[in-house]
Structure 1
Amino acid sequence: MPILCKPAVRVPEYTITMEQTLEFARKAHAGKPQLPLALRLIENTGVRKRHIVQPIEKTLEHPGFEERNRIYEAESKKRCPEVIEDALANARLRADDIDAIIYVSCTGFMMPSLTAWLINTMGFRFDTRQIPIAQLGCAAGGAAINRAHDFCTAHPDSNVLIVSCELCSLCYQPSADDVGSLLSDGLFGDAVAAAVVRGHGDAGVSGVRLEHNASYLIPNTEEWISYAVRDTGFHFQLDKRVPGTMEPLAPVLRQLAAGHGWSASDLDFYIIHAGGPRILDDLAKFLEVDRTVFRHSWSTLTEYGNIASAVVFDALRRRFEEDRPLPTGATGVIAGFGPGITAEMALGTWTDGTAGDPAHGTAHDDTAELAGVAASLPYAGRIS
């Protein structure tokens, strides 16, 4: 079965705290009737700090859609390669072992997709399939995992690289003063993530063995999360009903797990999109689990904010790095939620890559081999 390997995640060097966000909002929108409500909502997000690709002074400016998109392209090319290198090393693969690249992003536009630049620049084969996903928003991380699973199922022994590049700060609209815009200004952060789905499990690599996936769209909610595309770029629109979407989605997760012979209330790990605190609290309530099972998602939200499609990869990275390792066979779910309202869900079991795991061969010390793989990557040490 395909195995989702440990993700690599990087965040930009510039930061903004909740306190700074509140102060900027007070100055920019002083005297407006919706400001007190927006400030309370921002405080309730639980986001203590976010990372952004430019200093906050530049982020607060708006140089125009063309310039912002130029920055998006430049920053994507600057920041994606080293994250990809780390993800390939985690999977113990080289660029020319990859058969398809899925690139997800909803915060800028490029044609051709960044996938073409990556293939030309980083040593991927010229017959590598390109699968850009641009319009699923925060659900795209889960969708990318599921499409990688599908690809590896259709093409056994293939390997798929997933790249998530979300530069949400480039969508900031300083003149927008509706509550949804003000809330998003205090919620979203920037991040780049990458992960490999290996189509075969003979390399002693730990990860999530992907077993089943599904998609679900809540009927007649397509306007609840959206972009209005205007001369100034992407204007994020958020309906006040969005936080309540876990009530109809929790039964879908239950049904998915039950169809696989599992209980959604009794899994060993939960990798859930951290859209906001109410999303996580409500899902815990309706799945009848303790909110601490979402601790990795809570940590992402607190330290990075909502980093859109990259959330599930950062939450999974944190699960890999937790002091309490999971045993082979531990059951879990990965779920991303986004525009549509769309849910992308995957079920899988943990594998530690040892000899006792039927998906793998003999375990061995791979420290030296990992170092050799990292050193041999075509793009190692070069950032443009």
Structure 2
Amino acid sequence: MSATPTLCRPSIAVPEHVVTAEETLQLAGTLHADHPQLGLVQRLIANTGVRTRHLLQPLEATLQHPGFEERNLLYAKEAKARLPHVINGALTNADLDVRDIDMIVYVSCTGFMMPSMTAWLINSMGFRPETRQLPIAQLGCAAGGAAINRAHDFCMAYPERNVLIVACEFCSLLYQPTDLDVGSLLSNGLFGDAMAAAVVKGHGGTGMRIEHNGSRLIPGTEEWISYAVRDTGFHFQLDKRVPATMEVLAPAMRDLGNTYDWDVAALDFYIVHAGGPRILDDLSHHLKLPPTTFRHSRATLTERGNIASVVIFDALDRLFAEGGPPDGAQGLIAGFGPGITAEIALGQWNALHPPHRPAKDETVSTHPPHPREQLPLSMHLPS
């Protein structure tokens, strides 16, 4: 019988430029003083509970739009400059080396590259040329959950192999100065930038031992979360019905759990995508769980904003930082995004960490117990 794959501790990084809720509200009032629904927009932004967000560029540069091409070039440049450090953190957390990775899953909905970033990572960081590549670009905030589930599928098909997940979201590069509808203005005050990496380890490791996964698409909701792709780039479109999606997603989560005889309302820990506070409030209501159940997701929302596919990794890192649940505790990871799509993983906590057998030529390094890096803007590729 093969070992059950384990999702190890993520490595998280955020850019160094910070914008506060007060600055966001003041800016909305300055830029959109004549907007007929300014009061509503400011109330909605205030009600998100977001206190701080991290941005790739200073606020003045973020508000400029130099064109889609220049933005996409900046996305690629900064991702290449910043991701290796995050990836090395995840590998260290899993006691692995680049040569131990058999597949890289790369998720992002805020920039486009072809070949994928996976090709650059393999060429630049020393991964084996036969490392499989799986880029996921069109699942938005659900992509973090999809990456975990596809990594689980791979490790079940190829027992004891290892998958590296990399998530890179520079949401600030999607700011569109001409989009003035309420949904767009709310998004301007909600989304932030962040990066994450995590290993799904085929054998051993401390973290969530994934036992089941599933996906649910809510019919007739394709237009609720979407991009309009125009000359100026990606224009994020958010329907006012999105906050109420838990009415249909919570029963879908119950159904998935019932398939495997798991009661999703009676688990020990929950890592859930925090698109906004109502998502978490409604999930608490429909599953009859206390609000503290989703404290890690709420902390991510408060300190980072909605960081798209990175949310569940940031929240999971907070669970690790808290000391993690006891061995054998049952839990759930869920990401929600366009479609409307839910990607859900069920598993048990593995607090046991068998000794790692170093590969030949491997140097075993130590790392701080709770890495949460903020990388300098001056960290660029060599010229």
Q: Give the TM-score, by structure 2 length.
A: 0.92
Distance 2:380 2:160 in 1: 30
Partner Cα separation in structure 2 for residue 370 and residue 147 of structure 1:
30
8 Å Cα contact 1:276/1:301 also seen in 2: yes
The amino acid that maps onto 2:328 is G
Name 2:260's counterpart in structure 1: 260
Q: Compared with structure 1, are the counterparts of its residues 50 and 370 closer, same or farther at alpha carbon in structure 2 (3 Å cutoff)?
A: farther
Cα deviation, 1:134-172, whole Å, max 9, x if unaligned, reads: 000000000000000000011111100000000000001
| 2:372 matched residue in structure 1 | none
After superposition, the Cα gap between the structure-2 partners of 1:210 and 1:26, relative to the gap in structure 1 and judged at 3 Å, is: same
Aligned counterpart in structure 2 of residue 51 of structure 1, from 47, 50, 54:
54
Q: Distance in 2 between matches of 1:268 and 1:383?
A: 42
C-alpha deviation, 1:265, in angstroms: 1.4
- Matched residues in 2 for 1:12 and 1:348: separation? 31
Query: What is the CA distance between 1:328 and its match in structure 2?
Result: 1.0
CA contact (8 A) 1:94 1:373 kept: no
Deviation at 1:371, TM superposition (A): 5.1
Q: Which amino acid aligns with 2:86?
A: V
Task: Tell me, in whole angstroms, the C-alpha distance in 2 between the residues paired with 1:14 and 1:105.
Answer: 20
TM-fit CA distance, 1:362: 6.5
Q: CA deviation at 1:78?
A: 1.0
Correspondence 1:350 to 2:343: no
The residue aligned with 1:74 is 77
**Amino acid paired to 2:286:** F
What percent identity do the matched residue pairs reach? Answer: 66
Where does residue 335 of structure 1 map in the other structure? Answer: 334
Q: Is contact 1:15–1:52 with CA below 8 Å preserved after alignment?
A: yes
Could you list the per-position Cα deviations for residues 182-226 of structure 1 after superposition, in whole angstroms to 9, with x for gaps in the alignment? 00000000000000001112xxx2110000000000001000000
For 1:269, the aligned partner's letter is F
Q: Secondary structure at the match of 2:197?
A: strand
Asked if 1:197 is matched to 2:200, the reply is yes
Q: Match for residue 241 of structure 1?
A: 241
Which residue number in structure 2 is paired with residue 221 of structure 1? 221
Cα–Cα, structure 1 residues 312 and 35, in superposed 2: closer, same or farther, change >3 Å? same
> Structure 2: how far apart are the matches of 1:276 and 1:141?
16
Question: Could you say which residue in structure 2 is the equivalent of 1:357?
Answer: none
In 2, are the aligned partners of 1:98 and 1:128 still within 8 Å (CA)? yes
Q: Distance in 2 between matches of 1:310 and 1:186?
A: 17
Aligned pair 1:106/2:95, yes or no?
Answer: no
The answer on whether the counterparts of 1:89 and 1:370 sit within 8 Å (CA) in structure 2 is no
Question: Quick one: which of 119, 123, 127 aligns to 1:124?
Answer: 127
- 1:311, 1:133 → 2: CA distance? 16
Q: CA deviation at 1:100?
A: 0.3
Q: Does 1:171 align with 2:174?
A: yes
Q: 2: distance between equivalents of 1:104 and 1:126? A: 20
User: Are 2:174 and 1:181 equivalent residues in the alignment?
Assistant: no
The runs of at least 4 consecutive aligned structure 1 residues that moved more than 2 Å come to 258-262, 361-364, 369-374
Rounded to whole Å, the distance in 2 between the matches of 1:37 and 1:362 is 56
How far did 1:372 drift?
2.4
Q: Is contact 1:92-1:370 (8 Å) kept?
A: no
Q: 1:69 to 1:363 in 2, by over 3 A?
A: closer
CA distance in 1, matches of 2:279, 2:164: 28
Number of matched residues?
363
> Secondary structure in 1 aligned to 2:203?
coil
Q: Which residue of 2 aligns with 1:208?
A: 208
When residues 370 and 315 of structure 1 are mapped into structure 2, their CA distance, relative to the original with a 3 A threshold, is farther
Contact 2:142 2:337 in 1 (8 A): yes
Q: Is the 8 A contact 2:5 2:156 kept in 1?
A: yes
Question: How far apart in 1 are the matches of 2:355 and 2:310?
Answer: 33
Q: For structure 1, which segment, 261-270 or 206-215, has the greater mean C-alpha deviation from structure 2 after superposition?
A: 261-270
- Any conservation in 1 of the 2:78–2:380 contact (CA below 8 Å)? no
Q: Deviations over 1:98-121 (max 9, x none)?
A: 000000000000010000000000
Alpha-carbon shift at residue 259 of structure 1 (Å): 2.4
Q: CA deviation at 1:36?
A: 1.4
CA distance in 2, matches of 1:285, 1:330: 22
Q: Report the counterpart of residue 358 of structure 1 in structure 2.
A: none
Residue 258 of structure 1 and its aligned partner are, at CA, apart by 2.3
C-alpha separation in 2, matches of 1:184 and 1:261: 38
- Residue 141 of structure 1 corresponds to 144
C-alpha distance in structure 2 between counterparts of 1:173 and 1:35, whole Å:
17
List runs of 5+ in structure 2 lacking aligned partners. 368-378
Alignment of 1:14 onto 2:14: no
**Secondary structure in 2 aligned to 1:220?**
strand
- In the superposition, the TM-score normalised over structure 1's length comes to 0.92
Report deviation, 1:46.
0.3
CA distance in 2, matches of 1:383, 1:17: 26
Deviation at 1:370, TM superposition (A): 8.8
User: Could you tell me how far apart the structure 2 residues matched to 1:5 and 1:257 are?
Assistant: 22
